[in-house]
Structure 1
Amino acid sequence: MIEEAYPGASRARPTPAEEATTETFLDGFQQILADAAVTGRRLTRPEIESRRLLGARAAEAGHGWRALVRAHLTAGRAGRPAGADPDSVLAVVEQAVDAFADGYERAQRHVVRREEAARREFIDDLLHGRGDPGQLASRCERFGLRLSRTHSVAVAGGPEGYDESDPVPRQVADELFARFENRRILFTTKDGRMVCIAPGDQDDVLTWFGKLVHARVVGSQVAVGRPRPGTVGIGHSYEEALNALDVAQRMGFDDPLLRAADLLVFPVLARDRPALMDLVRHTLGPLEQARGGAQPLLDTLTAYFDSGCVATVAARELSLSVRALTYRLARIHALTGSDPTDPGDRYTLQTAVVGARLLAWPGRPL
């Protein structure tokens, strides 16, 4: 409120009916003009403060700046004291409007900061599922979301962290809202990442968001959570997007646009962490006995499975001869007792390799 920016502003506060007219905010201006213009003096501190206070009230009441300036100029011309020097009249009007503008701008900044704080608090509560669902629902409409629809959340991660004051998020937001100005979407930054919330049936918004981010941030990835209903669903979609980014980093996926729906197998594997650790330890643990440790042989398995178990393609990926690759596969068989080329053993080995990447093994002990 204005009282927070201007202590004592509640004195002689205009009524709501009075606030409807610009003349309300010229209170005392004619008297100041009549006195100061005749003597040629500058406005006193109390007079300047009175103009600032009225400017602040005008901003809070929602009056347009152009109409307020026009009202001051009109009052200055109509109330010009007889015999007063025109330069003195202009000087008084200039000082009064300058002080009025100072109060007006300061109040506007205060309102903007207050609204932005409320918006960020709302988005934080929404993404993390905090607060009363009923209150969240009532606040959603204010910020452009309709909870009768499902929503998806896209999260953009990159090598650098951002907040909303940085140039890149501002550019992304400007282009996003310029293209989809009639859509009910939200854009923000959270923990250094850019976040976009859109109706679940408007995938084109989130796809375009991903393209905008990828075009401006080298090495960026955008993950999209599944469409979910209600305020709690938005939080779940956000968590899915975050988890998808984490999985992509652990698994070495470099796709610019990731969809949580395509990566559901990884949360399933990671959900029972003790069992996954036991699988990796039992199946791949013997690789640590190899000369050079487990990592080279684990990389061999990864390339082999990623190639569709085609030895020539995997050897090319690893810059090895097919003979060297075959030797490594045989060494893995000898150490683990599981043959990567055997369909019966392949599923267990491939699941264990995925688990090792999720657990960051062998770099991180089990």
Structure 2
Amino acid sequence: MSEDTWLVADCQNLLSVPASARRQAAVNLGARAADDGLKLRELVTSLLDATTAHWSATSVEGTATAVHARAETLLDAARVLLTAAVDGYTRQNRAELDRHDTERVAFINDLLTGRADPGGLAERAHRYGIRLSATHTVLIARAANLTPGITYRVDAALAARFGEGNTLTTLRDGDVVCISAGGLRGIAAELAHLLLTELGAGTWQIAVGRTQPGVHGLATSLEEARHTLDHAAKLGFTTPVLNAADLLVFPVLLRDRDAITDLVTTVLGPLTTARGGVEPYLETLSVLFDNQGNHTATARQLHLSVRAVTYRLDRIRDLTGYHPGEPTQRFTLQAAVLGARLLGWPS
């Protein structure tokens, strides 16, 4: 029996079902139509056609009042059936979407952790158009007010822009995580545009991991993107889109924690004895390095005079023996300042 045949037949039979069971029968009919992939329009049309056919087959001669009463009873029954069938159709569709979303999230989690059975993972990846042997890039977007609804719209927009199978997006640990096919151009810019539309400016930040091959490469790219966002928060970087490849120096700095701690305390430790504490001097050095050593720009950003900035730098030299104006000492000072920001020193 074809889809249309069973739907027409079941819709016609609904009006013959006892009134007490009629609503549930209509709910079941709507759910079956959704399961079979029929359009809602087909369900509604079939129910209306069945109502018309029922009227033609059962109407009899009588007074206008009797005909009117009969028509009113049939319309009331049709209204109840139509409402129930649409409700069953909608609920079944929603349940199916929820099931797909749950499976999708579980797949992405297994994909990013790499802990699932390789054979099963490859079979599931095929459903989503993911080739595990190919290269992929992982992007993470972080904001305080990300929601499943925003994530769904971003996912749909990225899929429409770059094609199904080229992107896979989900909400994971409060962040939007997007798996992109390797070498896909413009993905970071498009994600930024979508977040700007959804959240406005200045409320989010994106990190892009390096493109890596295979399943293990996905986990590596994910960690790179996550660490990039973590480092950016500690360092006060506000750039909307950050590339892990541009911040590789920071994992290097933290790889030997004892060494970077020794560098920070040795180079910057004497500043803790300064009147007013170490913070004003650390801030001055940070802003100075951010402005490529420009004293005027540094003074403007700190709301100080250029003379006050010069005084602080001279005081740093007196206490530490290092001055950012000396080329041989600038790198050591900057590495120590970056290390202090990453470590949260001196607190």
Fold shared, TM-score > 0.5 on shorter chain: yes
**1:49 alignment counterpart:** 24
Q: 1:211 aligns with which of 193, 216, 226?
A: 193
Deviation per residue, 1:238-266 (Å, 9 max, x gap): 22112111211211222121111110011
Could you tell me whether the CA contact under 8 Å between 1:30 and 1:75 is conserved in 2?
Answer: yes
**Identity over aligned pairs, percent:** 43
Residues 29 and 336 of structure 1, relative CA distance in 2, 3 Å threshold: closer
**1:23 alignment counterpart:** 5
**2:64 alignment counterpart:** none
Could you tell me whether the CA contact under 8 Å between 2:112 and 2:218 is conserved in 1?
Answer: yes
**2:281 alignment counterpart:** 297
Q: Distance in 2 between matches of 1:190 and 1:337?
A: 47
Could you tell me whether the CA contact under 8 Å between 2:130 and 2:165 is conserved in 1?
Answer: no
Quote how far apart the aligned CAs of 1:153 are.
Answer: 1.8
**1:287 alignment counterpart:** 271
Q: 1:95 aligns with which of 69, 80, 85?
A: 80
Confirm whether residue 104 of structure 1 aligns to residue 89 of structure 2.
yes
Q: Distance in 2 between matches of 1:278 and 1:291?
A: 23
Q: 2:243 aligns with which of 244, 251, 259?
A: 259
Q: Distance in 2 between matches of 1:61 and 1:283?
A: 71
Could you tell me whether the CA contact under 8 Å between 1:186 and 1:198 is conserved in 2?
Answer: yes
**2:63 alignment counterpart:** none
Q: Distance in 1 between matches of 2:263 and 2:314?
A: 21
Residues 165 and 182 of structure 1, relative CA distance in 2, 3 Å threshold: closer
Could you tell me whether the CA contact under 8 Å between 2:30 and 2:43 is conserved in 1?
Answer: no
**2:172 alignment counterpart:** 190
Could you tell me whether the CA contact under 8 Å between 1:136 and 1:231 is conserved in 2?
Answer: no
Deviation per residue, 1:292-342 (Å, 9 max, x gap): 111111122223333434445444443444443333233222322334333
Structure number with higher helix proportion: 2
Confirm whether residue 270 of structure 1 aligns to residue 245 of structure 2.
no
Quote how far apart the aligned CAs of 1:119 are.
Answer: 1.4
**1:245 alignment counterpart:** 229
Confirm whether residue 60 of structure 1 aligns to residue 35 of structure 2.
yes
Q: Distance in 2 between matches of 1:256 and 1:105?
A: 39
Could you tell me whether the CA contact under 8 Å between 1:23 and 1:71 is conserved in 2?
Answer: no
Quote how far apart the aligned CAs of 1:351 are.
Answer: 1.0
| Runs of 5+ unmatched residues, structure 2 | 61-66
Q: Distance in 1 between matches of 2:131 and 2:312?
A: 57
Task: Report the aligned-residue RMSD.
Answer: 2.8
Count of residue pairs the alignment pairs up: 335
Could you tell me whether the CA contact under 8 Å between 1:185 and 1:198 is conserved in 2?
Answer: yes
Question: Which residue identity lines up with residue 123 of structure 2 in the other structure?
Answer: S
2:169 aligned counterpart, secondary structure: strand
1:308 aligned counterpart, secondary structure: coil
2:145 aligned counterpart, secondary structure: coil
Q: Distance in 1 between matches of 2:206 and 2:220?
A: 16
Deviation per residue, 1:211-242 (Å, 9 max, x gap): 33245432122111111122332222122112
Quote how far apart the aligned CAs of 1:99 are.
Answer: 2.7
1:226-245 maps to which residues of 2 (within 5 A)? 226-245=210-229
Residues 304 and 95 of structure 1, relative CA distance in 2, 3 Å threshold: closer
2:140 aligned counterpart, secondary structure: strand
Residues 257 and 31 of structure 1, relative CA distance in 2, 3 Å threshold: closer
Residues 89 and 357 of structure 1, relative CA distance in 2, 3 Å threshold: same
Moved more, 80-89 or 115-124: 80-89
Question: Which residue identity lines up with residue 217 of structure 1 in the other structure?
Answer: G
Question: Which residue identity lines up with residue 150 of structure 1 in the other structure?
Answer: T
2:176 aligned counterpart, secondary structure: strand
**1:10 alignment counterpart:** none
Residues 29 and 297 of structure 1, relative CA distance in 2, 3 Å threshold: closer
Could you tell me whether the CA contact under 8 Å between 2:133 and 2:215 is conserved in 1?
Answer: no
Tell me the TM-score normalised to structure 1 length: 0.80
Moved more, 111-120 or 310-319: 310-319
Residues 73 and 291 of structure 1, relative CA distance in 2, 3 Å threshold: same
